[in-house]
Amino acid sequence: MEIVATAFVGRVALKLFAFLDGNYKLRRNLEHDIQRIRMELDMIDAAIHDHDGRRSSSQVQTAWIQLARELGHSIDDCIDRFSHRLAKDAAASPLRKTVSRLKTAPIRTEFAAEIRKIRKISEEVSKLRECYGGGESSTSEASAPGALSEEAHALAADLVGMDAPRDELLDLIRDTDGHPKQLKVISIVGFGGSGKTLLAREVYESDTVVCQYKARAWVRAADKGAVDVLKEILEELGMQVTGDARKLSTHLRKCLGSKRFFIVIDDMRTELWNTMKNSFPAVMGVSSRVVVTTPIQYIANACSSAHGHVYAMRTLSEDLSRQLFLKEASLEDSSPSNELGSEALKKCDGLPLALVTTAQFLQSRGDPTWAEWARLCNNLGEHLETEDTLARMKSVVRHSYASLPDHFIKTFLLYLGIFPRDRPVRRERLIRRWLAEGLFGGDAELATCYFKKLVDHSIIRPIDVSNNTKVKTCQTHGMMLEFILHKSRCENFVTLSHDQARPPGKTRWLSLHHESAGRARMSREDLPFVRSLTIFGKAHKSVLDFSKYELLRVLDLEECQDELSDKHLKEICNLLLLRYLGLGGPIAVLPKEIAKLKLLETLDITRTKIEILPVEVIELPCLIHLFGKFKLEDVSQRVSKLQRFLSEKSNLQTLSGFVADKGIAQLMDHMNNLTRVKIWCESTTEASSITHLSKSIKGFIQRGSHASDHRSLSLNFNECSEDLLSFTLEKSCHLSKLKLQGNIFSLPPFVTALAGLTELCLSSLGKFTGDVLASLSMVHSLQYLKLIATHMEKFVIRKGQLNILLRMCIVVQSMEGLEIEEEALPCFESLQLLCKGVNGFGGIRMELLGRLKEVALDDGLSDKAKQEWKEAAKMHPRRPKVLFIKTSKQHLSQMSII
């Protein structure tokens, strides 16, 4: 409970003071009260920080934290209710504004009275803690990870699916013919319970390692500093030495000397490598090995940066997962109970430790009925906290959670409990929602940084990755999600449904995605306090009574299966504090009353049937992101007014995307803050509109004068003339990302003039000729290149061309060849060739693999060709991953969409 309380109290304190800064009369009248509240909130925040990291709390401490969190909510409610009433008055017609000013006085008086009440409550909360004490336990929240490792090791003999990873790791450890023998650091990275320690132990105790490495040591690094780790390595090697890191490092170098050594550093969770790396002598001609296991990607990268390799743990396949689960649960494959365990099996997500512990937990319950088994599976998060058979899995998820760097990132992880387990979450959708909640104070870069940290800690796993390696969609590991849901429920952070007993306290973050959610009623007393509503599937009509919501900031109905009427939409337009609105389903018209949503930052109508957008949307002053596929209603009578508004007041950054017409083209020139644009050009587009659009696209590109702009343009011109892109640029301009789809017979002239173009995607309805491919070599700043076509002529990349290209993806039905000259593409890391005719490429030399981290090929290749690529990969020190991707006509067409 302390995690959400700390993050929330800190954020609300800042919100209160920022709000009062803009209301000088209130601040002057409440100066003394405000200072008292500030001091009390600072003390509460510090007290909860002191308590954080402890495994257990006394009932007094738990109750006190609950009071602190409710205090924060009370302040939040007070500010938002006051803002809502002022916004309502501001939305009144001009004739009523004089009256509304008179109404402001009693509203301000009420607000002042509320603040004084809150001050008294904050003082009482602090006094309660002083009177009754915290009763705090000194036990660490994360149980002893060393014990966890040994228990996990005991499972090694019983696990399945370890043979292939063990053989792959042994391949990485062996010397490579034709390459110098030297020190190599191999990092094994993955979520807790994925088998990192088991895999390292299997290799450490293998005959290959025992026979070839005379100096061997195994140490555990979790919760230790570099001095402790170095001291333990020396003790494992038979030396008792004390001193600082430098002294210990010197002793270790002397001890190892020119010996061939094999050292495992297990569960490294802090960046110790830069302090320790000089302790391991890199003697040429001596192939020593250091193996590091870690759940954190940046630590794995740091350890294996030179002459090393990062081995990412894979989850078990569905078949192997079932085999292990049934074995540990003592079930036969044909047993009727087998089907009962399917839901639990899904929640384990192929993690060996989750499969073993969950199976043993279910097996310990004897022969439960269908209903009992379903209940056990549905409440795994609760059982994680109480059942001894799940203690090892509990230790993993608690330790992963506790290791996150601060309260805010832990709160954002709990926020993921809003989304169902079977739906990947879009990264951008998640970040925009976080921002709309006010969790970052509008700092998108900070939000992105926190998302990366969650991925880096292996807590959320990427599902789909874009050309430039950014995560597009993600999911939380199943058992981690069970932990998140249970913790959210305990802290009354996210409410999933009201079909069970009503949760304690007020509902503020509501998400409906259970089968029974459609029957879950909401009381009228709850609705006014809800800040976030997300519906997956159907909802009870009481939930859809939008007239009762007062403080709603986030409304996500993208996957709502209920048909929303005009009445619903008009009620939504009265949610004056709304900052995020996602709509879906058969909605075809947006009411003009949407103009009331003055605070709206994100509007996503991609999943609706809206084809004509009311101009009032463009006039929303706080709108930053607009998504859909629409035309703008006729603006011919209002062009000048709209252009002036867009130039002076608009905050619109994302316009993705519109169907080209003259109106939107005339306005686009005045959207000075635009950084991301997506356009469709149709056959019905008039010639005059194409002229205006061409001019607007050129203007958008030319406004990108700095590399930090990170501008992107996506254009589908399948049914338009190529003249649309025939313009030339008058000066050097910056565009980060460009996607073009249409009949591409030649590379548009402006492309080669773009400075800082790092990502280019070309999708042609026909073929790529040699002329198009030759022109690509003139785009000197490219790092990511994607080519999609039915056929591609021979593509030759010569030395000196595309010198900083990192990744290339070619998706074609057939191609004549790919030739990469020797010493060309010095920075190249990843090659994807999704073409069934790749077998006979004489131009793709296998030695190119020596510079790659991965190569992905079409799964339609012959078994012989696949084996040749795999064997070739083993000949190189970096051991690039060789992946085989299944493709189909449908898959290829999906990849063509921009």
Q: Point out the least confidently predicted range of 205-214, 408-417, 816-825, 883-892.
A: 883-892
Provide the strand spans (E) within 67-177.
none
What CATH number is given to the structural domain containing 106?
1.20.5
Question: pLDDT at position 840, please?
Answer: 45
Q: Which residue has the tokens 């003339």?
A: 721
Question: pLDDT at position 783, please?
Answer: 93
Mean confidence (pLDDT) of the chain: 81
Which of 583-617 are b and which e, b meaning 16 or more Cβ less than 10 Å from the residue's Cβ? bbbebeebeebbbbbbbbbbbbbebbebeebbbbb
Please indicate, yes or no, whether residues 179 and 121 belong to a single structural domain of this protein: no
Please indicate, yes or no, whether residues 167 and 308 belong to a single structural domain of this protein: yes
Domain membership of residue 640 (yes or no) is yes
Please indicate, yes or no, whether residues 354 and 280 belong to a single structural domain of this protein: no
Alpha-carbon gap, residue 52 to 6, rounded angstroms: 9
Alpha-carbon gap, residue 261 to 287, rounded angstroms: 8
Alpha-carbon gap, residue 347 to 298, rounded angstroms: 27
Q: Point out the least confidently predicted range of 96-100, 398-402, 621-625, 783-787.
A: 96-100
Cβ atoms of residues 587 and 611 within 8 Å: no
Instruction: State the residue range of the domain holding 272.
Output: 162-312
- The pLDDT tens digits for 835-883 are 866 544 444 555 567 678 888 888 877 788 788 878 878 777 667 788 8
Q: What Å distances lie between residue 886 and 49, 367, 474, CA to CA?
A: 50, 41, 21
Please indicate, yes or no, whether residues 276 and 179 belong to a single structural domain of this protein: yes
What CATH number is given to the structural domain containing 450?
1.10.10.10
Which of 460-498 are b and which e, b meaning 16 or more Cβ less than 10 Å from the residue's Cβ? bbeeeeebeeebebbbbbbbbbbbbbbbbbbbbbbbbbb
Q: Who has greater pLDDT, 94 or 188?
A: 188
Residue 484 above 50 pLDDT?
yes
Q: Point out the least confidently predicted range of 152-166, 358-372, 818-832.
A: 152-166
Domain membership of residue 521 (yes or no) is no
Q: Residue 336 CB: number of other CB atoms within 10 A?
A: 9
End of a domain among 369, 395, 421?
395
Please indicate, yes or no, whether residues 375 and 434 belong to a single structural domain of this protein: no
Domain membership of residue 684 (yes or no) is yes
Question: pLDDT at position 654, please?
Answer: 95
Q: What are phi and psi of 271, to 5 degrees?
A: -80, 90
Domain membership of residue 11 (yes or no) is yes
Q: Who has greater pLDDT, 5 or 490?
A: 490
Sequence-distant (≥ 6) Cβ neighbours of residue 116 within 8 angstroms: 30, 33
Residue 410 above 90 pLDDT?
no
Residue 532 above 90 pLDDT?
yes
End of a domain among 683, 703, 734?
734
Counting residues of the chain whose pLDDT is more than 90, the rounded percentage is: 33
* Residue (of 747, 740, 808) closest to 779 by Cα position: 747
Say how many domains are in the chain. 5
- The pLDDT tens digits for 62-71 are 666 667 767 7
Q: Residue 638 CB: number of other CB atoms within 10 A?
A: 15
Domain membership of residue 453 (yes or no) is yes
Element (H, E) at 835: none
Please indicate, yes or no, whether residues 369 and 482 belong to a single structural domain of this protein: no
Alpha-carbon gap, residue 281 to 260, rounded angstroms: 10
Using CA atoms in the order 676, 680, 686, 687, what is the torsion angle rounded to 10 degrees? Answer: 60
Domain membership of residue 853 (yes or no) is no
Alpha-carbon gap, residue 829 to 452, rounded angstroms: 21
Question: pLDDT at position 140, please?
Answer: 42
Using CA atoms in the order 201, 207, 213, 214, what is the torsion angle rounded to 10 degrees? Answer: 100
Please indicate, yes or no, whether residues 303 and 183 belong to a single structural domain of this protein: yes
- The pLDDT tens digits for 746-770 are 888 889 888 889 999 999 888 899 8
* Residue (of 141, 118, 144) closest to 54 by Cα position: 141
Q: Which residue has the tokens 């709000």?
A: 19
Cis peptide, bond prior to residue 766, ω within 30 of zero:
no
Q: Point out the least confidently predicted range of 128-137, 182-191, 545-554, 648-657.
A: 128-137
3-state secondary structure 179-231: CCCCCEEEEEECCCCCCHHHHHHHHHCCHHHHHHCCEEEEEECCCCCHHHHHH
Give the mean pLDDT of 307-316: 88
Please indicate, yes or no, whether residues 185 and 293 belong to a single structural domain of this protein: yes
Domain membership of residue 377 (yes or no) is yes
